[in-house]
Structure 1
Amino acid sequence: MNLQDKVIAITGAGQGLGRSMAVYMAQKGARIAVIDLSQEHMDETKAQIEAAGSSASTFLCNVANEQQVEETFSAIVSQMGGLHGLVNNAGILRDGLMVKAKDGEISKMSLANWQAVIDVNLTGVFLCGREAAVKMIESGEGGCIINISSISRAGNMGQSNYSAAKAGVASMATVWAKELARYNIRANAIAPGFIATEMTAGMKPEALDKMTAGIPAKRMGQPEEIAHTVAYLMENDYVSGRVVEVDGGLRL
């Protein structure tokens, strides 16, 4: 896929990795549908896209809400003239041990914290992927869907909810690649390692040093390196059903 003038939707594009992806692909000529829950953040992303020489439209949407997702993807097509790519990037964290015993007391991960992560990180990816596929089939032009997984899909302590969701979105990408190939729609996933974002910037220096020391590359990844991988998967029409790990050699 040549990204020039293609419409690429990105969830969670108001900041962090999503914003980096949006700006990177805008520099290649893509027009970006910015999807997020914060209008302020989306406006900031839109300004950076325009500074990069392309255009964007913003769409307020809770990806875990079926009606909102359906309305959002219909609006993208009507306002932007089509849909050629989707990056399922939106996600949340509610980390905690499944059970923890201390001083005779046992605490548990709440069902609310389990469900919140599953709703956004797994169900939200399903809903957005489904609606994007519908629009791509209706247009007859095909397209590409990329799910943002994580190396935590292999199972990371304190992340029962997150790991389960990220394993699920990686599997869905493989399933969709098989199901949607007949419509000229490809699907892939990216599993980032530790990436330097606003979230990691708030960590204590000693914790960051310890984390970085365990990475064979001895540094965290940069958001632009994930964005570069997104663009590669969008552009290479013979890559489908793959999960690309971008983690500096780290394996959990």
Structure 2
Amino acid sequence: MELGKTILNFANCSYEDFSGNDSFHTIVTRLRTAGCVFAEDEARVLLSAAHTWAELAAMVDQRAAGLPLEHVMGWAEFCGLRIAVDPGVFIPRYRTEFLVHQAAALTQSGAIVVDLCCGSGALGSVLAASLDQIQLHAVDIDPHAVRCAHRNVTAVGGHVYEGDLYEPLPPSLHGRVDILIANAPYVPTDTIRLLPSEARIYEARVALDGGSDGLDIQRRVAAEAPFWLAPGGLLFVETSERQAMQTVEIFAASGLTPQVVRCDELDATVVIGTKVV
């Protein structure tokens, strides 16, 4: 079979024709040939999203060229919510749902929540959507991420700021934050080259690069956290299992009482730091 001719000759078929079984398998073959591991699932998503054959053709081409499916679609599913994700913006990972679940379990109604390094604002948006009347503030240094986060965070009544970590937050939050979540980058600079191409090429480096040992941003987050947290307030960060003990030391050196929680099923590790009352 001449794969390219079969897949790319959309001009001779309607969208209805293209969404038939033969065309479904053709899309699957195209995606699988491009290296998509979950080609059948992705083909179903693309077919369900496209409204015309031209739109479908463009989406298949983008995905086959390597653009992450979430960037092709313009959204990612995270904790049951559809989160807008613009091209270049960090895609929320499935394992990070564990961090959100840990934070949600310890967040009270009316809490002040800050989402640092928010990216698309996925973490804070889920907390705001699932809990009663929290006051949500989200921050990112990347202007592209901030624009994307506005769409998600303001939809749940939150506020978004552009700047470096705590710098753009309102001074009125000093010493009043109950929950601080920071999915800060924790990939060591020298190992970014080992990441899947979807991350290396299509996500902002600032959302991935954690410095020489991967923990530079965590150090900065933890160092200032006690000045922003309320007594008994909590800082949540995601890290790797290998880095967890270093993160614990960072938290302790900043005056926080650390605790490590782990989910083997998701390969997710979270360190929680408590500001001592």
Q: TM-score, normalised by structure 1?
A: 0.46
Q: TM-score, normalised by structure 2?
A: 0.42
- Could you say which structure has the larger radius of gyration? 2
